[in-house]
């Protein structure tokens, strides 16, 4: 890789993985973004500043995840990492199941690719290289794929490489995230999963995952059934009982497609509006009304302990541009 621009600005979206039955394979990009401004330092040093989520709690130096991913990306390309100055403005909550680590890793890798002039055939940064490198660092692709490509993604590993397929989500989908104050580590949530599951549960979930692909891609009227899971959510419920109760209530009493987002404890609700522009017969209701009703129903159940946020689906994934105003971080 050879040096290109002196500085770049990178936006990376929040993501929700699993979506119920799509365990470790399906993901959705959400319209909530972290921002990183990066420039190469001639002295070889690493300097990081953080605003927003994680400020005062995450490392501000070479141990910061964006900085680690930035350096790892150069090393993966067989090059010596340069010094770098990073300004991170974070909006994606940490430890809530909204892909904050994938956002940070993707930002670091994309910044390295852009500063090195690594572009794809369309002149954009080489997203396939960013995806593969970021997934290697993360260790799994389910959040990285929507973070890089946007929209709704399927991802998997095979033939010694990570693979991903982006599908266009139905325009009627209206995600709502229900974010509690408490955090939960992915490692703790994964530690609750059994080594084996009954064959009937595996078969049930495989069928629902296939149905979920259709529901998100053009049949949102099937979302409630399509988001049923028997592989992971009930096993993790003990670590996040309030999230489990909220998802169950929204599903059982309100008929809303509520799932645990990623490893939790955020609950994701996939509501659907009707109206023009939908590719199939519209869901009942005027444009926006089902979304508003869903938010009102959720707020009535959660009270003030949860942060309820309606979001759009991010269609583009990682974005790279010139930095807005990158001044030197104080030594």
Q: pLDDT tens-digit profile of 164-184?
A: 999 999 999 999 999 998 888
pTM of structure: 0.90
- Rounded Cα distance, 145 and 106, in Å: 10
64 is in an annotated binding site: no
Mean pLDDT for all residues in the chain: 88
pLDDT greater than 80 at residue 117: yes
Question: What was the pLDDT predicted at 152?
Answer: 98
97 is in an annotated binding site: yes
C-alpha distances out from residue 204 to 57, 231, 255, 264, 269, Å: 41, 9, 20, 22, 21
96 is in an annotated binding site: yes
End-to-end CA distance of the chain: 28
Radius of gyration of the chain, Cα coordinates, nearest whole angstrom: 20
Give me the domains of the chain, ranges plus CATH numbers: 7-167+315-321 (3.30.230.10), 173-310 (3.30.70.890)
22 is in an annotated binding site: no
317 is in an annotated binding site: no
C-alpha distances out from residue 106 to 209, 261, 283, Å: 26, 19, 35
Cβ atoms 242, 265 nearer than 8 A: yes
* DSSP conformational letter for 283: P
Q: pLDDT tens-digit profile of 104-116?
A: 999 999 999 999 9
- Rounded Cα distance, 202 and 205, in Å: 5
188 is in an annotated binding site: no
pLDDT greater than 90 at residue 146: yes
Q: If we measure between CA atoms, which residue out of 314, 152, 175 comes closest to residue 257?
A: 175
Q: If we measure between CA atoms, which residue out of 124, 127, 102 comes closest to residue 12?
A: 102
93 is in an annotated binding site: yes
222 is in an annotated binding site: no
141 is in an annotated binding site: no
163 is in an annotated binding site: no
pLDDT greater than 90 at residue 192: no
Element (H, E) at 225: helix 223-226
Question: What was the pLDDT predicted at 282?
Answer: 37
Question: What was the pLDDT predicted at 274?
Answer: 57
Q: pLDDT tens-digit profile of 8-36?
A: 999 999 999 999 999 999 999 999 999 99
198 is in an annotated binding site: no
Residues facing 158 on adjacent strands: 161
Residues 6 or more apart from 301 whose CB is under 8 A from it?
A: 246, 249, 250
Q: Can you tell me the mean pLDDT for 176-200?
A: 88
pLDDT greater than 50 at residue 159: yes
């Amino acid at each position: 890789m050879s040096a290109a621009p002196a500085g770049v600005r990178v936006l990376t979206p929040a993501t929700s993985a699993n979506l119920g039955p799509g365990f470790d394979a399906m993901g959705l990009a959400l319209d909530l973004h972290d921002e990183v401004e990066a420039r190469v330092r001639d002295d070889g040093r690493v300097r990081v500043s953080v605003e927003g989520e994680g400020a005062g709690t995450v490392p501000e130096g070479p141990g910061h995840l964006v900085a680690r991913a930035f350096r790892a990306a150069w090393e993966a390309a067989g090059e010596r990492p340069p010094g770098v100055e990073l300004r991170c403005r974070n909006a994606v909550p940490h430890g809530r199941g909204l892909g904050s680590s994938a956002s940070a890793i993707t930002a670091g890798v994309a910044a390295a690719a852009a500063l090195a002039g690594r572009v794809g055939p369309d002149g954009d940064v080489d997203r396939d290289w960013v995806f593969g490198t970021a997934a290697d660092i993360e260790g799994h692709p389910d959040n990285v794929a929507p973070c890089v490509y946007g929209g709704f993604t399927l991802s998997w590993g095979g033939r010694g490489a990570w693979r991903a397929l982006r599908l266009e989500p139905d325009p009627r989908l209206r995600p709502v995230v229900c974010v509690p104050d408490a955090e939960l580590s992915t490692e703790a949530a994964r530690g609750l999963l059994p080594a084996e599951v009954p064959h009937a549960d595996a078969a049930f979930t495989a069928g629902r995952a296939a149905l979920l692909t259709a529901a998100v891609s053009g049949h949102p009227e099937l979302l409630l059934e399509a988001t049923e899971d028997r592989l992971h959510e009930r096993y993790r419920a003990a670590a996040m009982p309030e999230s489990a109760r909220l998802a169950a209530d929204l599903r059982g009493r309100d008929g809303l497609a509520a799932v645990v987002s990623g490893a939790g404890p955020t609950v994701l609700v996939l509501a659907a509006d009707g109206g023009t522009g939908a590719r199939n017969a519209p869901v009942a209701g005027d444009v926006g009304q089902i979304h508003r009703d869903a938010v009102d129903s959720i707020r009535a159940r959660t009270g003030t302990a949860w942060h309820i946020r309606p979001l759009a689906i991010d269609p583009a994934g990682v974005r790279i541009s010139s930095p807005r105003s990158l001044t030197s971080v104080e030594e």
